[in-house]
Structure formats: structure tokens, C-alpha cells
Amino acid sequence: MDLVTVGLRVRELAIPGARAMEAGLQRQEYRGYDSAGLAVDGDKAGEVEIFRSVGKVKALAEVINNAKINTEKVFDCHAGIAHTRWATHGQPKTVNCHPQRSDPNSEFTVVHNGIITNYREIRELLTSKGFKFESETDTEVIAKFFKYIYDSNKQHNLDFSQLAKLVIIELEGAYGLLIKSIHYQDEVVATRKGSPLLVGVKTEKKLKTDFVDVEFPDTLEELSSVPADANSNINGTANGLLIPKDNLRHSVSRAFMSDEGIPMAAEFFLASDPAAVVEHTKKVLFLEDDDIAHIYDGQLHIHRSSNEVGASTIRSIQTLEMELAEIMKGSFDHFMQKEIFEQPESVINTMRGRVDFETNTITLGGLRSYLTTIRRCRRLIMIACGTSYHSCLATRAIFEELTEIPVSVELASDFLDRRSPVFRDDTVVFVSQSGETADTILALQYCLDRGALTVGIVNSVGSSISRQTHCGVHINAGPEIGVASTKAYTSQYIALVMMALSLSDDSLSKSARRLEIIEGLKNISEQISKVLELNDSIKTMCDETLSDQKSLLLLGRGYQHATALEGALKIKEISYMHSEGVLAGELKHGVLALVDENLPIIVMATRDSLFPKVMSAVQQVVARSGNPIIICNPGDKFDPKYKTLEVPATVDCLQGLLNVIPLQLMSYWLAVRKGIDVDFPRNLAKSVTVE
Ligand code: UD1
Ligand code: F6R
């Protein structure tokens, strides 16, 4: 995921935007990024200065300082765009930093959050039109596409927002976009789809209204001169598009009119996150999907490309009450909590552009050309540490079932300690959030030396594991800041399930099972949201019954063994409470001795083929006066004296995605209750780069 922040200051500017933007970028450092950049109007008309750098915002500041631009010069009207990038397309290199440009003269410059899923098709089209690409990013296609549509429509004298409409209609995926152009000096266009974007508004005098009017097109006419291209796969390009007939600029929004009826001087700050703008202004309006915000002549205009029935005709200007620290975490107290609650969205990002729910097909671009080799391998070994290891355990059974390849799951350190034999016809999958875990990297080198095919399942693009594996899948969960891994777990889990589905897509006998799983994936985000509704009751349960305990046992079997292990790890690392995940079948082989009326026991008893066996474990616990807390599906009847937490039912192999969430919440609330700094638990680091 990429992050955007922008300072756009129009009129009565004291200092050029570069410094303000730099500060805005710094405010978003907490979100994690690997490179930064900005573009700002140059001294002369038609000139744009771009500064980019891999590393921290400090490194970018250094680049700007060395460029010896006059940062004290006063402009009447000045626009700039800036960005911190978390690599998704292409490694963190200067050439991949944003802003991306349309051509060497930087006629159009773009910063972008999100992922354009049809960038390959657009890139192909533009390459066939003679455009030369400089980067590996999906974003570069947007800048070049702007130039292409601009050049092809010169006779229409389009204004910037009309041009933007013609471009974004072709974009698929998720985006928060800011665009500037030397053809529209001092103007910026901002638009979003599925990625946050807000406008900070700063005026000297009080705003006349606390909303901005949305401008709908008056008349539409078919613009048949948008270049039709028979070879294009891009929707709409060949169809002729609708643009407003009247090309006149709309009047100033009521909000920015002074009492004398003339427009007030205003500054606008566009950002993906309020943290970037709050030091300038607390007045913000949040853009909606498909809004096109156009800032020119010191005014803000919000356009829609069509007259939707019932659409809201205003965007309210809100006053942020929060302090900076609060804003960075949104309404959450800790990053871990924020990341737990982000899961309905992060799992979608993992599947975006990869699972087609209409055709029930899976496309993992990073594995496409390796699938045949993987299918032919003698065995598949999954190697990881900690939480990432648990995601392997959670998906091992479905891998074996769908691919019919024997799968072993290994802890990286143990695998190395044993100097386990590895052969050329093995496929080894390395799972890591950070992509920098030393144990996993060493195991990877060990397997590379022995000639095995290596596959990475990694969150950080450009990380060592992502670069050193032959192929792989980026889980696209976005940066994970909290030391306890939460959203990375659910996304790794889904990435591994997608890999198993991909490997088995040639098998007719597995097609019904595959369909069932894809259907499950379709609903998973919504179901995760449903589980998150348990938050309050879990907090109460932690406060009332669990927090005074010394120890906790988690029982599961089959698919839920991994959930029990992951829940126990979360609880011990964050709340420092001793907890153990136990395979329910092993209870009678020793662990039962621990059970008494005090020890809390959480049992994963959602419905799958092993349900009766899990229930027999519950009976064993109850017979020894134990008090189980049961994670079950709605409608399942248990003795009313047991506590239950109901989670929605899904396919057996995906149920762990839902069952783990109450455990994440439990570890969180137990830690908060003990006053532990949840995001930085003692003795632990986010990325373990030592053996
Ligand atoms: C690419 C985009 C992705 C977008 C999709 C849409 C990149 C980095 N990703 O994803 O954001 O949603 O197109 O079409 O451009 N790789 C490894 N080891 C790893 C992980 C990945 O070698 O651990 C390799 C892959 O084999 C591939 C490249 O890195 O060559 C990108 O991987 P991934 O992001 O998963 O590829 P796509 O799903 O095609
Ligand atoms: C637990 C946790 C760790 C990591 C482990 C591997 O919450 O975060 O157990 O899962 O250190 O790290 P990655 O996935 O970065 O290789």
C-alpha cells in the first residue's frame, strides 16, 4: 500500500509547499514506508520540480536541500503533491518512488495509494502508442494515460477535472490519486476509489457554510473522439465516453464566499490521513468514492461524473477534535487494535485482482509461470517462524487435500538445526510478514544452495525474502506496525489458500470443493466484521473472568489446532500470561492433569467433521470441574453454564480465519487491562533480524 500526503497551498503563500509537504510526510511516518517523493511547481511557468528518495523523509529532505532551490520564495499560487510509498509494484528504488511522471518533461505527475489491477493492459496499450516506461510501478500508467488522453483531445480544450474523468473511467482497482500538470499550472486534481482521501481547508475568515456543494454535470454529450482502439482491452476506450458539454467553470462554492460576495483566500491540503494536515487546519472534508476534487484559482470544486439518483449533493466540512497522536491511530488506542479491526479490509486487499468471484478463478501473477513446476514437485515444505509458521499449519491440510502433494511444515530454526535434507525437486514456501526474519532467510539460503524451487509469501515488497525467492505472492496486507502480528496472519492464510486453489485449478475432481472455498472467500470479509462485533463481550470476559488467572489453555483439533497455537502465542506475547495451545486429541495424554476448577480453557468447537471429537474433549474437561469457554457457531446448543462466543460458520478450511479473531481481541484486552504497552511488548522486536 502506498500513502499519499499533499500540501497544496493556493494564494497568499508564505513559503513554498515543499517544506509543508515534507512536514506532512513526516506526520505519516508511523504508517510504515520505504521511500518518499514530491513534485512542486518550479519558479517558471511550465516547470515542475520532482524530488524522490529511497528511505526516510529525512533522506528526501537532504535531496531537496542539495538541490539548492529557493525555498524562501513567495508565490501567489502554488501547488505540489507528495507521497510516502510502501512498495507494492516494484522494489523500493528511486525510479519506483512517487511522483511518477508521464514523460521526461513531467507534463503530468501523479502520486497514488492503492493498486491498479488493470495496469498491465493499460501499459500494453500505451507502449503500443510509443510510450516508454521508466518504472515497474502500476502508477506510472496513470501519469502516461493522462498525457495520452490529453494529447488525443487537444481540440476539446478539456479542463483538468474533465480530463481526469476520462482517465479514471478506465482504471480498475483501488486508488487515492493526486495529479498535477504543467498544462494546468497551479491546479491539482484528487480522486479516490476504495482508498481514503480528504481535503483540509484553511481560510482566514470563517467559512460561510460547513459544506461544499457537489457539482453534477449539466449536459452530457458523447465524446466520440476519445481514441477508439480496436486492440484495447480497456473498458470504455473503444466505446466513446460522456463528458459535460458546457466547458465553463462552475461558480465558487458558497462555503468560500466572503460577506462581500467575493471568494476568500484559501489554502487546501489533500491527504490520505488527517495526521498530515492537522497542524495546518482542523477543518476537513472526506471525499467519497468517484469524487473528483479539482482545486484551481484558490477554490475547491467537487465533481461527479454522472447524475446518480439520490446521491448526496454536499460534502460536509468537519472539525477534527482529536490530537495528532490520536489521529494517527484513528479512533483506536493502539496499532494492534487498529490492525485487528482493519482485517475486513486487509483480507480484501490480499484477494484484490487475484480472485475473480464471477468466474470463480484465481490468478496469482507471481506464481503463474511456476505452477507447472510446483505441481510436479516431490514434496512441498513450508518454512516460517512464529505467527507465520501458524499460518502454514492452518493451511497445510487444505494444501494436501487440493494438491495431493505431501506437505511438511517447519520452524525455520529447527529446520536449519537439523540440516534437513532438501532436493532439487522440492518446492519450499517461505512465509514471512517482514521478509527480513533472519532464521527464515538462512533457511532460504540453505534451500537455494540445494537447488530447490523457492516461493515467498511475504508482506514487504522489496524485502530480502521477496527478492531472493524464485517467485511468490505478496500478501498486500499493508504495513503492520504492532509487534503482535494480526492482519498479516489472516492475509498469509488467505494467500496460502489461494496458492492451493491455483495449484489445483486443473483438477476436475476438486472443482466442487474449490468452488465451495471460493464462495467462502467471497463472504469472509463480512464475516470478519461480524466477529469483530464480539469486541465488547470479549473485553468484559477478560475483565471479569480471565485477567486474574495465571494460565490459560486453548484446545483445538484439525484446522483449529493452528488457531489454538496462534491464540496462545498472541496471549503470551502481549499479555505475558502463560497460555498453551493444545491439540484436543492430546488432552488425555498428559495435559488433562492441569485441569481444575480454576484453569480457564478456551475450546474451538465450530462445526466441522471433528466436532464430535472436540465435544468429547469438552466432556473430559467438564468432568474434572473445568470451565470451558467455547468458540462455536450460532445456534449450537451447549450447557448454559458454559460461556460461549459465537462466530459465523464458513467452510472448514477457512473457519480458522474467523476463530482466531476473538483470540486476538482477548490477548489485546488482557494486555490493556494489565497496563502493558500493547504495541511494544517487552523483549520483542517487530522484525527479528538476528538468528
Ligand atoms: C502484481 C502487483 C500487485 C497487483 C497485481 C495485479 C507487484 C509487486 N505486485 O501482483 O500489487 O495486485 O499485480 O495484477 O507488482 N515475488 C517473489 N517472492 C515473494 C513475493 C513475490 O519472487 O516472496 C515475485 C513474484 O513472483 C512476482 C513479483 O514478485 O514476480 C510480484 O509478486 P506479486 O505482487 O504477488 O505479484 P502479482 O500478484 O502479479
Ligand atoms: C507474533 C509475531 C512473530 C512473527 C515472527 C516471524 O505476533 O509477530 O511470531 O510472526 O517473528 O516474523 P515474520 O513473519 O516477519 O517472518
With b meaning 16 or more CB within 10 Å and e meaning fewer, what string describes 322-332? eeeebbbbbee
The total number of residues shown for the chain amounts to 691
Give residue 32 CA to ligand 1 midpoint distance, Å.
19
- The pLDDT assigned to 328 comes to 62
Residue 370 Cα: closest atom of ligand 1: 26
The rounded Å distance from CA 341 to ligand 2 centre is 19
Output the pLDDT for position 71. 65
Residue 452 near residue 437, CB atoms below 8 Å: no
Distance CA 210, CA 405 (A): 62
Instruction: Measure 435 CA to ligand 2 centroid, in angstroms.
Output: 10
Domains of the chain: 2-325 (3.60.20.10), 329-532 (3.40.50.10490), 533-684 (3.40.50.10490)
Check: CB of residue 35 under 8 Å from CB of residue 92: yes
What pLDDT, on a 0 to 100 scale, did the predictor assign at position 663?
A: 98
In this structure, the residue with its CA closest to atom 3 of ligand 2 is 386
Per-run averaged pLDDT (10 residues), the chain, 691 residues: 40 46 68 80 79 87 79 70 80 89 94 89 95 93 96 92 93 90 90 87 83 75 42 40 43 73 82 78 88 88 81 82 58 90 95 95 96 96 98 98 97 96 97 92 96 96 87 91 93 98 95 98 98 97 89 94 98 94 89 85 92 86 85 88 93 98 97 88 64 54
Q: Does residue 485's CB lie within 6 angstroms of at least one atom of ligand 2?
A: yes
Q: Return the pLDDT at 19.
A: 66
Cβ pair 405, 371 in contact under 8 A:
no
Q: Global pTM?
A: 0.70
Ramachandran assignment for 75, one of left (phi > 0), alpha (psi -120 to 50 degrees), beta (any other): beta
| Among 335, 336, 340, 387, residue to substitute to test ligand 2 (most atoms within 8 Å of Cβ) | 387
Question: What's the confidence (pLDDT) of residue 260?
Answer: 75
- Measured distance CA(478)–CA(32) in Å, rounded: 9
Bridge partners for 80 per DSSP: 40
261 CB-near residues (< 8 Å, 6+ apart):
none
Q: Which ligand is nearest to the CA of 570?
A: 2
Per-residue model confidence (pLDDT) at position 447: 97
Task: State how far the alpha carbon of 448 is from the alpha carbons of 154, 320, 370, in Å.
Answer: 54, 52, 16
